[in-house]
Amino acid sequence: MKPIKVVLAGQPNVGKSSLINSMTDSRLKVGNFSGVTVEKSQVTFEHHCHILEIIDLPGTYSINGFSQEEKVARDFLQNEDYDVILNVVDSTHITRNLLLTLELLNMNKKMVIALNMIDEAKEEGITIDVAQIEAITGIPVIAVSANTKDGVDELLNKVHDIADDDNRLRSKVSYSDIIEEQIFTIKNFFDEDDYSFSDLNSREMAIKLLSEDENFFKEIHDKPVFMELQPLLIKCHDNIHTYFETKSHADIQAIEHNAISRGIKAETVSCAQPKNHKPLSKKIDDILINKFVGIPIFLFLMWGLFQLTFELGAIPMDYIDSLFSWLGDAVGMSIAHDGLRSLIVDGIIAGVGAVVLFLPNIIILYIGIALLETTGYMSRVAFLLDGFFHKFGLHGKSFIPLVTGFGCSVPAYMATRTLKNEKDRLITLFIIGFMSCGAKLPVYVLFAGAFFSPEVAGDVLFYIYIAGALLGLVMAKVLRVTVFKGDDEPFVMEMPKYRLPTLKLIYMIVSQKAWSYLKKAGTFILAATILIWFASNYPKHNSDNQALQLEHSYLGQVGKMTEPFFAPLGFDWKLSIALETGLAAKEVVVATLGILYNVGDEVDEESDELLNAIKEQIPFATAVSFIVFVMIYLPCFAASMVFAKEAGGYKYLAYLFIFTTVIAWLMSFIAYKIALLV
């Protein structure tokens, strides 16, 4: 049975993910749209003897814009094969959401409108005449609630019916008198000649010509009818331009669509809510985005999130560490060859273990960030910090990718796609690395545990994260006034309603990101660990002393060669190598330190042997300098590759390497000198 291919389209924060979630228990397949790095979610499931394949387009306010998301949505809708467009609309923000709906109607495809969050609309005293919306648009409209699953079954049945029907429904939307006059003129021209093209009727062809649809123009331009049509078309456009006093089609469309969407709301939506009634969300906003207490509340929540990440994450880490230690011992006992045993145990198992060991921390951090995002709080913090961010040359929307960077730089770089202004996006991309990702956590925990008491170590970790973020803001200002000069984009971001996310939605979001972390980062860490194993074991030295073997290995030679560059920062060749191996993956830094300080590589940041070795062999000032360097320098290999793709080429990766290395060296040097004085 051929599946029904459904394209899910809607503006941001209309509940598309929640709606997919309520439709099926199938696991989402996450990937990229062909040729670009914009993520897509896709799921295939069976419903009432039909197989449905749903593709979730990126949330976009318009398909006629120029952001990457808008281009992807437009290209997919215009060029790909599918059966039905499922347009998701927020019932509590109908006027704004219908702007995209009107654009989709002009595509003349089979379409169903899902009026989502109808339960929230009812709670706010909003009544919507669904039948009247259908009558105005000519498109089936189903009221649904992704939270309660009300109407979801009816919606899927309607999708089946529309897909199975050989005839598609025609849009009934009416425009202003001046536009309708020109549509009527061109429609009559086609009717008199009895001209038909594809499955479009004469009115639809007239609308496409007046809306300057490029694809339709290309198709009809070479037809004999165009010679006779062109003078009439020019006259119609002149009439419209004279009336609106502009030749900008985008401005004219915006005026028309705004008027139509307001008209639909006026005819179909009524609100029983008293004018002096203050919604609960507004009462909450009065506190959370208050200019005096809003930022302290946010900082407290982030501090609490990091405390949970560190404290709760340490519990399963011990078990995971023990599991991989046991696995290494068990596998090692069954391999007689020393070299092969070392490769598998010290290289492969230790490499995989280095990734899995910190997965609990990553998951806890992702759960916290997902909760803040899905409840609607993150958008409010972006609004709250917009004025503060503008002082540093950043956009308020930069907040989301920057906070995501505390979890992992890979999704953080991808999150910059929401920034339409190229300079704003590039500045944000360049400073994401200053937000310490979860992979740097083991290094911080190791050094904080070695040089500070357990009572204050958690606070020290929080200060490290905040220091990196503040430094990132300063660097953003430097980039704005030097390399990326120009005015930043005005802040335009909707304030979504507060919602209580379902456990299923949180699981879906966190499991996708956790799996992505394992899949993308794990491969690079595994390869890097094997490479480090080889470089630290060869060429063989005529000594059984591990320290001498390391010093004369390829790894040791590289460390000795680069030691002069790091010497002013207080680093010896061992710390230099640890930083260099961290270019592959920051988790590898701890394992490298374990090897180089002669305590073995099967160590973690809580290993007593490694903690004692660090404390005894590394001076406090050097430790401070090392932490600062780790906090700033180039992210891991996986994140660097994603950065290059998102920024627009590998030349930007070269710029990032120079930028972060110079800043890391200078800040580490300053920190080292200050620590020596203290």
* 37 pLDDT above the threshold of 50: no
Among 131-135, 215-219, 449-453, the range of highest mean pLDDT: 131-135
Residue 514: the pLDDT is: 79
Number of domains in the chain: 3
Residue 158: the pLDDT is: 93
Q: How confident is the model at residue 472 (pLDDT cuts 50, 70, 90)?
A: very high
Determine which of 274-278, 310-314, 320-324, 544-548 has the lowest per-residue pLDDT on average: 274-278
Residue 19 lies in a domain: yes
Residue 251 lies in a domain: no
Residue 254 lies in a domain: no
Q: 366 burial class (0-12, 13-18, 19+ CB within 10 angstroms)?
A: buried
**Cα(97)–Cα(237) distance, rounded to whole angstroms?**
28
154, 197: one domain: no
Q: Name the residue among 498, 420, 450, 390 with its Cα closest to residue 606.
A: 450
Residue 87: the pLDDT is: 96
Residue 508: the pLDDT is: 76
Domain that residue 435 falls in: 295-677
Among left, alpha and beta (phi > 0; psi -120 to 50; other), residue 506 is alpha
Residue 28: the pLDDT is: 60
Do residues 309 and 368 touch, judged by C-beta distance below 8 A? yes
* Bridge partners, residue 554, by sequence: none
pLDDT tens digits, 563-578:
999 999 999 888 998 8
E strand intervals along 11-125: 29-32, 39-47, 50-56, 84-90, 111-116
Query: What whole-number percentage of the chain has pLDDT above 70?
Result: 88
Residue of higher predicted confidence among 441 and 239: 239
Q: How many CB atoms lie within 10 A of CB 530?
A: 17
Residue 424 lies in a domain: yes
Between the alpha carbon of residue 236 and those of residues 194, 243, 441, 543, the distances in Å are: 20, 11, 64, 90
Mean local confidence (pLDDT), 334-342 = 83
Query: What whole-number percentage of the chain has pLDDT above 90?
Result: 25
350, 465: one domain: yes
183, 145: one domain: no
455, 513: one domain: yes
Domain termination residue (choose one: 164, 188, 218): 164
Residue of higher predicted confidence among 559 and 115: 115
The CA-based diameter of the chain, rounded to the nearest angstrom, is 97
Residue 507, Cα to own-chain centre: how many angstroms?
A: 17
**Cα(232)–Cα(220) distance, rounded to whole angstroms?**
15
463, 378: one domain: yes
* 410 pLDDT above the threshold of 80: no
Rg (CA), the chain: 29
435, 517: one domain: yes
199, 92: one domain: no
Q: Name the residue among 116, 126, 660 with its Cα closest to residue 436.
A: 660
Helix, strand, coil percentages (3-state) for the chain, rounded to 5, are 65, 10, 25
127, 188: one domain: no
Between the alpha carbon of residue 219 and those of residues 197, 208, 210, the distances in Å are: 9, 12, 15
Residue 190: the pLDDT is: 87
* Bridge partners, residue 90, by sequence: 116
Residue 162: the pLDDT is: 93
218, 160: one domain: no
Domain termination residue (choose one: 164, 199, 218): 164
Mean local confidence (pLDDT), 14-25 = 83
Residue 261 lies in a domain: no
Residue 440 lies in a domain: yes
Mean local confidence (pLDDT), 57-61 = 86
Residue 171 lies in a domain: no
440, 568: one domain: yes
* 111 pLDDT above the threshold of 70: yes
72, 188: one domain: no
Residue 527 lies in a domain: yes
CATH code for the domain of 103: 3.40.50.300
Do residues 547 and 538 touch, judged by C-beta distance below 8 A? no
CA quadruple 128, 134, 139, 145: dihedral, nearest 10: 30
Which ranges in 245-293 belong to alpha helices (H)?
A: 249-268, 280-288
Residue 128: the pLDDT is: 93
**Cα(315)–Cα(89) distance, rounded to whole angstroms?**
43
Residue 27: the pLDDT is: 59
pLDDT tens digits, 362-401:
788 778 878 887 787 887 887 788 778 888 888 777 887 8
8, 97: one domain: yes
